[in-house]
Chain A
Amino acid sequence: MRINYHTIIFSCFLWIACEKKINLPVPKIDPIVVIEAILCNKKGESKVSLSKTEDINNNGSPIPIHNAIVKISEEGSNVVFTFKEKNNSGIYYCNNAIAQINKPYRMSVNVDGKIYESIEKSNTQTNFLCAKIIPTNPAFNQLNNDNGKSTVSVMIMLNNNGNTSSQVITNIFHKGRVVASNQNFVLQPHETRTSRVINIRNINFQDQDSLIVNVKLINKEMYRILESIRNNARQFSATPTTPFSNISNGALGYFQVCISKSDTIKKNDNSQKCPNL
């Protein structure tokens, strides 16, 4: 459970503060290749996005990289997935790319003759037990929502069977749109059955709507990378740092091999698949 109490406290002092946009000189660098590659155990979830860094004063979308050669191969076998770019978007897909449990994979991206590589291994099966929508603290609804939207609190129940900690990442979808992404947490060895609550703010959620909760188990290094991405984007961070990368040759981004499990949940769902704690 994370508590961004310092963010809350600081926000409370802002009643005596004022904000304004300023211009400060920032150091410039040449564009760097950014790779976001995911190989999952479900069809259609695997993709590789290629782009370049841009000046922070640019207002446009990220610059996509076209005509790259993108391959993911299973180490120690001759299984190779070749990814092709779709619609000149800089996003490369391979329909039959599926990750197997406990297998290592090598990603190779060739951009203008320069090769960027990474080797990753999937972890064991996810320990996701169930999810359910729970009542939200009314104060959250009062403070954090605009235009009649509300906060929805989702409790997910997890299980850690091993003797070591497990790293979990959760994404929640509503009507095909990601409403909560990159919710990372670590299950400690003693947490044989535990729950985490994710508050989705500013959501236009009706009683008949459903949410899809997708839980992925990732390895420790991948968790560290995702944490660094999250800390980078967080306001008031004590040490703003470039997110870590597990890709060679100076590329930014990550190559993730994951095993995921999904559950569809509704409000007031009385099926007892997720018991009270």
Chain B
Amino acid sequence: MYYLIHFTKVFVYFLLISIPYLLHSQKRDSSILDNIIITNQKEQKSQQVLMGVEKINAKLVNKLSFFFGERDMMSVTALMPGVKSESGGQGSISIRGGGYDQNLVLLDGATIYNPAHLLGAFSVFHSDAIKNVTLYKGTAPARYGGRISGVIEAESREGNNTSYIAKGGLGIITSRLSIEGPIQKGKSSFFLSGRRTYADFVAKTFSKKIRGNELYFYDGNAQINFHFNEKNTLSFIGYYGQDRLNLKDLFSINWSNLVGLSHYQHIFSYNSVFNTYLSFNQYKVNLNLDRTRTQSKPLEISFLSRINEFTFRSEWEKVIYQHKILVGMSGLYRNNIPGNVFFDGVALSNLRRNMAEIAIYAQDNWQIIPKLNLQYGLRLQSYLIIGGNNDFYILDKDRNYIRTVKMNGIVKQFISPEPRIALKYSFKPNHSFKIAYNRNSQGVFLINNSLASLPTDRWIIASNNVPISTSNIGVIGYASNIHEWEFSTEAYYKFINNIVDYKDGANANDPIIDQQLLIGKGRTYGIEFLIRKHRGLFSGWIAYTLARAEQKTPGVNNNQYYISRQDRLHDFNIVFITTPNPRLTIALLWTYQTGRAVSLPSAKYKLIDRTVFLYKARNSGRMPPNHHLDFSLSYKLKHYKHLQSELAFSIFNVYARENPFIIQIKEDPEMPNKVNIIQTSLFSIIPSISWNFTIF
């Protein structure tokens, strides 16, 4: 606490000293034009100071709708070098070898804990509702914190404040509709968007057996903007999405993301902007299981996992001569139910955790000389574990449970100073060398219940037994832009402290999950290449990543480094887009990834009449590689007065590759002493057609 107070003082002094200077300088720096206010200005990669930044806009995504015709922002993000999806889906994304929980996924600044629908087949970000997605692969601006690998920030579409527009799409299993327009012309606007899958409706029509069963998701985005005058803007943004799976009379599960956010922007002058955000977000998993019924008394079992966050962020950006300065502060209160089981509404375990995150940050982007740019900053992040009269577990040195105690006040505090620096040297116009360093920290972790990522995986927060994770990443790279061509390469090394992993033989369902976890170290390193053509008859990119992700946990694998679950040695993506005429767009994608690291047995034996397996080392085996070719074609139909529309045809996985989702070792049902390695694949060849329209 002492350090927090001390750093707050330093920050306040910094503000007091700098404000008069900043205000005074407004009169002097009129010659400097900057892109603070012009937010849509495109920046070539060779001109960016930060490394590992990718911007994906809706226009590009609309050309790459391979999976059921869905215009998914996350699926295109996963085609960038250094970004890998767990199973070819869009949900679980690993950035530079980091865990799936190590990415801060933001919708206009509010956290989305599970950006996946239906096991990652779809993401929560579709291009009708989202304007663009910005990806930071570990070296993000100082305003972002709380995750150690990457940041994915989606920016919602604002409503049109001059005319009414309706957009939508009708597809085979999903449809969407969005409406936007002015509330008061030129001053305020609204945007509403909704989407739902209806595979369950179709299936019910054809099969009586599955009536009463459900498997679908829906989501909706809403935004209202008020432009009071040229200097003051207020926005309210909302998102709600839910997945439902219901098997009649047996169990039901639903998981949902909820976001509510307000954003106020005040422009002091053309080079000075103040932003304030206030948001609430919730991720919730609810499972109900009618496990056992007696004649007189039905016994209902339910499972609840929930994470609530209230966030405040306020920051000021200002251009002074060759400096672009950002100062700000943020506060977050997080309430977590990691996974409680209820019998007839009575909690068997009633674990709750509370945490506050407070951060202050400052950053300067300084053009030292025309050829040399420096961006440096500091984020001071503090994590406070708040007791709130909740149960906390006391473990022994071997992390075995001793007893439970109720705690109040601040149970534990972690402070993480996070410096960041990035240097760019442009030795020729459009050619630059870059070097960067970032330190990040994280106080919330996702604990997998199984070898696949499922919605029932539990979020836990740092506690008296689980410290925060910290990472240090160093990157060096080169970028060039020649006409419509872009080439960039970046090499990185990341070291992670306090990475959480299971003990050997852990019981993932243990209510006292702390005793099943061990704290170790991790390291990831790799090199990424990107060649991209932006315009012309043919456009697209080739991305290749050679990378390694490893971790070391005391008591696991003889205390030696072992391969992390998200390690992929090779990752290769080719995207090819052509527009032979203004109406027709054809796109092809081929993607290849090394198979996921898994633990494979070296031998088998029998105990208690069961076949059990001997595992020599954790994650020492590999699943088969994951690759597929996708095709999409969109054809713009003839305009009718106020209607523009297009037909989009796509084939996902053209050569019907059976890519592994998980593998299991199973006894052969016909030969009890024989075991087989069984691979489960999710999506084979999927042709799809959809009709997209705009009414204006």
Contact = CB atoms under 8 A, between A and B. Distances in A.
Interface stretch (B12-20, B288-296, B326-334, B356-364): B288-296
B519 interface: no
B289 A3 contact: yes
B531 interface: no
B679 A1 contact: no
Nearest to B502: A239
Contacts, number: 237
B612 A232 contact: yes
A51 B606 contact: yes
A58 B622 CA distance: 21
Interface stretch (A20-28, A75-83, A102-110, A257-265): A20-28
Interface stretch (B21-29, B181-189, B506-514): B506-514
A72 B120 CA distance: 55
B448 interface: yes
Interface residues of B, number: 86
Interface string B64-85: 0000000000000000000000
B452 A53 contact: no
B683 A16 contact: yes
Contact of A22 (B509, B624, B675): B624
Interface stretch (A4-12, A40-48, A93-101, A115-123): A4-12
B608 interface: yes
A267 to B, nearest CB: 13
Interface in A20-78: 20-29, 31-32, 34, 36, 51-56, 58-62
Contacts of A56: 601-604, 613, 665, 675
Interface string B643-682: 0000000000000001011111110000101111111111
A244 B249 CA distance: 39
A181 interface: yes
Contacts of B613: 56, 232, 240, 242
A214 interface: no
A62 B663 CA distance: 24
A228 B505 contact: yes
Nearest to A36: B607
Contact of A242 (B291, B615, B674, B683): B615
A113 interface: no
Nearest to B213: A12
Given A12-B245, A17-B661, A242-B614, A134 B294 contact: yes
B120 to A, nearest CB: 11
A142 B209 CA distance: 12
A197 B621 CA distance: 37
Given A24-B663, A29-B602, A51-B606, A238 B681 contact: no
Interface string A241-272: 11110000000111000000000000000000
Interface string B171-194: 000000000000000000000000
A10 B452 contact: yes
B658 A20 contact: yes
A203 interface: no
B397 to A, nearest CB: 16
B43 interface: no
Nearest to A228: B505
Contact of A235 (B119, B249, B666): B666
B482 interface: no
Interface residues of A, number: 79
A87 to B, nearest CB: 17
Given A153-B292, A178-B609, A24 B677 contact: yes
Give the dominant DSSP class at A's interface: mixed
B197 interface: no
B673 A59 contact: yes
Contacts of A24: 600, 621-624, 663, 677
B286 to A, nearest CB: 11
A6 B122 CA distance: 20
A38 B372 CA distance: 75
A253 to B, nearest CB: 6
B664 A32 contact: no
Nearest to B624: A22
Nearest to B618: A239
B341 A9 contact: no
B435 to A, nearest CB: 38
Given A53-B605, A227-B505, A23 B677 contact: yes
B303 interface: yes
A238 B610 contact: no
Nearest to B250: A139
A239 B606 contact: no
Given A9-B455, A20-B658, A27 B292 contact: no
The interface centre, meaning the residue of A13, A239, A241 with most chain B CB atoms within 10 A of its CB, is: A239
Given A5-B456, A143-B250, A239-B618, A17 B682 contact: yes
Given A9-B454, A20-B678, A238 B448 contact: yes
B389 interface: no
B569 to A, nearest CB: 16
A125 B307 CA distance: 43
B607 A254 contact: yes
Contact of A3 (B293, B341, B621, B662): B341
Interface string B274-304: 0000000000000101111111100001010
A202 interface: no
A229 B289 contact: no
B682 A238 contact: no
Given A1-B341, A54-B605, 19 more contacts: A2-B509, A4-B509, A13-B119, A17-B681, A20-B658, A22-B660, A22-B663, A27-B602, A36-B606, A53-B603, A56-B675, A59-B674, A137-B292, A178-B609, A231-B505, A241-B504, A241-B615, A243-B612, A252-B614
6 contacts: A13-B119, A137-B292, A137-B293, A227-B505, A231-B505, A238-B508
* In the complex, the 9 A-B pairs of residues with the closest C-beta atoms, listed nearest first: A228-B505, A236-B450, A53-B603, A139-B249, A241-B504, A239-B502, A139-B250, A59-B674, A241-B505
